[in-house]
Structure 1
């Protein structure tokens, strides 16, 4: 391994939440970053996005202006009775910041994306990242870091980070073929403007400042999360509605398909009427295709690696997808920092893989369990005897202590020491 840190010219393929987080982290570590987006604008649409303390801590470490993202600070996790709507189980987050040093934020994706873009490309420590649009990656020379795009152009970089989502081109280029199966669940997402719900005199869930669940012991489940804070409280109530695939008419339609209210309501004839009243006035009803991916054998090859949904697609039931992408980004910044990077890109990407793959795989597998058992959900897993429901394996459950008490700096330090000079850190 070489002995000297040097500034790298790093490419990030994808301009979503994970790609922007990677750009910020690597910029803060002293490197030049260019983000390549396949579309003519790097943007997000649609839904709420959860950012627990293990994600929020990195936003603060990178000096992101979190208030700019207009997050709702969560105070509770609330599980309701499916039919009556009564509170069955509550995990109180009142001491959350005191325990973990950071609050639990709920963003709207559009706001979070803009917040991260402003940090990645604006003023602050490090060289501002560049964004290049209309550049779809079609190949990478893994030995040289030369990227080929569908418009005929090429670009050479010292390292390439694939942050290009669940359908990742970079993942395919480095030789990974996903072993995946379609989930037994279908999900429809819908938004309810809080002002509209209040105008109609409907239950005001915005007052609870919580992620709220109906069901969760079995496939069917409703998840509600508030977002877009304003002086009047959350502006949007974001609903994720899960049901067995055979109960709905939605198949493999993409995100651009807009479902009808009738399609949204059909699987829930016996649901709490207060929630049904919200869903009847919901807007922007979109399907979310759910696939179960087995963990990939590796994440890095040559000068390229993958992160976020490209590396560990997971069920949404632990609300950790964004946090895992943010942690991936943080790990890249740490392993390429002046403290740890000694000049060998390929060895360093293997160190990144060694740090991130075990933890992300743990969350991936716990998310799959939580798809049909809400007791497996971080927070509720602390109460394993609620109404007789238990986690599958008490010794293997995912806990809030494990997620929020994790010290990535120490993890990198230990695994960097374990990698002998001249050898790959493939632990």
Structure 2
């Protein structure tokens, strides 16, 4: 089949790799030129590394740091909780898949390399500077801003939070929802930390083998390493004022923030935390604005995936992982001998396999782990019988999208035979 993918982020490239390996001709259309890739670090929990391993991804290319736990400290820097540990999670799930921390750009480069390298003599074609204007879900036509029209037997909408492809499924799909929060994101080189006694004491205490959260559910700082431990990735999430929302309504990696504003809001925090934050580099600030998920991820020949389908915010650390799971599900569904007329039927299985799971994580990603009850009613608009029980971080680790697809395919065959 001819597969057209809109967007070459983590999800789009993951889908390209999966569908290329499944035996299809894949073309990706990306609006940017890939000249200045930006972003911060990313969690790759075992459900994500499991997918990457199945694609023969070389983890060394990610320059990762193994993660052993999430440790939570109070604002005055006293350890009081370790809600997630690798050892416990692996034992509960029965897996040996690693938990890695990597820079988003390193993951993106590794996926692009896998896509362009191809599989069994067939590689993925990536078209840069190719902004998509709209998609016709029924015909599989993708209309580009420069007037070109391309067609696919299967079209994948992987164009993120600001998706245009979502409008082919639901007309108001791009309407934004503010969570009333804003986030400062920044990087600090370890070389800089080593020269600053205040920052060094903080890092020596938390170490470089975990993700650290400091503060309260109302304002929390997250720190974890990437690039083989040479860079610390940091984020501070706090309530946003109306002025903040207006100033940074559209979330973007390019919105600059102020170190003075960052530090000024940390008056209740330990002196070491404030001193550490004064070293911030490449500081970005934006409101945590998101979208509600559409009522379905599929229509005609179109499947939405990643943030185009279920926009994730930082609280669950699962945005990239769920996009990779979507990609794995698509690769498992569309065997090399799939007839184009079967696309619609198979996409319904994709929707069944992924909708409940990802929308639940999507809605819970809007708040800290201990505040999930606050969004439960919102979640039930999309998943009426949703509950909090079982939706722990370990629950996301115990996810095998290919197995779920195989189970649903077998169920369909049984129903048809009956």
Q: State the TM bucket, normalised to the shorter chain.
A: 0.7 to 0.9
Number of the residue aligned with 2:178: 182
Aligned counterparts of 2:90 and 2:121: Cα–Cα separation in 1: 29
Within 5 Å, which residues of 2 pair with 1:27-426?
27-41=20-34, 44-83=37-76, 85-90=77-82, 91-94=84-87, 99-125=94-120, 127-178=122-173, 180-201=176-197, 202=199, 203=201, 204=203, 207-217=207-217, 219-229=218-228, 234-246=229-241, 251-253=246-248, 254-338=252-336, 344-370=342-368, 373=371, 396-419=389-412
Aligned counterparts of 1:371 and 1:325: Cα–Cα separation in 2: 20
Matched-pair contact (CA < 8 Å) for 1:340–1:416 = no
Aligned counterparts of 1:132 and 1:252: Cα–Cα separation in 2: 33
Aligned counterparts of 2:138 and 2:19: Cα–Cα separation in 1: 21
Aligned counterparts of 1:248 and 1:48: Cα–Cα separation in 2: 28
Change (3 A) 1:283 1:66: same
Matched residue of 2:227: which SS? strand
Aligned counterparts of 2:60 and 2:372: Cα–Cα separation in 1: 31
User: How far 1:96 sits from its partner (Å)?
Assistant: 5.1
Aligned counterparts of 2:24 and 2:123: Cα–Cα separation in 1: 10
Matched-pair contact (CA < 8 Å) for 2:180–2:245 = no
Matched-pair contact (CA < 8 Å) for 2:20–2:119 = no
Matched residue of 2:303: which SS? strand
User: How far 1:92 sits from its partner (Å)?
Assistant: 3.2
User: How far 1:332 sits from its partner (Å)?
Assistant: 0.5
Aligned counterparts of 1:150 and 1:43: Cα–Cα separation in 2: 22
Matched-pair contact (CA < 8 Å) for 1:212–1:224 = yes
If the length of structure 2 is used for normalisation, what is the TM-score?
0.87
Matched-pair contact (CA < 8 Å) for 2:47–2:400 = no
Change (3 A) 1:119 1:330: same
Aligned counterparts of 1:89 and 1:259: Cα–Cα separation in 2: 30
Change (3 A) 1:169 1:342: closer
Change (3 A) 1:266 1:247: farther
- For this pair of structures, how many residues does the alignment match? 394
Change (3 A) 1:315 1:331: same
Aligned counterparts of 2:133 and 2:415: Cα–Cα separation in 1: 31
Structure 2 portions without partners, runs of 5+: 375-385
User: How far 1:252 sits from its partner (Å)?
Assistant: 3.4
Number of the residue aligned with 2:4: 11
Change (3 A) 1:302 1:242: same
Matched residue of 2:241: which SS? helix
Matched-pair contact (CA < 8 Å) for 1:167–1:310 = yes
User: How far 1:367 sits from its partner (Å)?
Assistant: 2.1
Change (3 A) 1:207 1:334: same
User: How far 1:338 sits from its partner (Å)?
Assistant: 4.8
Change (3 A) 1:306 1:249: closer
Q: Deviations over 1:6-62 (max 9, x none)?
A: xx1101111111111111111111111111111222763121111100011000001
Change (3 A) 1:223 1:247: farther
Larger deviation: 170-179 or 189-198?
A: 170-179
Matched residue of 1:160: which SS? strand
If the length of structure 1 is used for normalisation, what is the TM-score?
0.85
Structure 1 portions without partners, runs of 5+: 1-7, 377-392
Change (3 A) 1:334 1:216: farther
Q: Deviations over 1:109-142 (max 9, x none)?
A: 1111111111111154462111101111112232
Aligned counterparts of 1:209 and 1:308: Cα–Cα separation in 2: 28
Aligned counterparts of 2:292 and 2:49: Cα–Cα separation in 1: 27
Larger deviation: 24-33 or 178-187?
A: 178-187
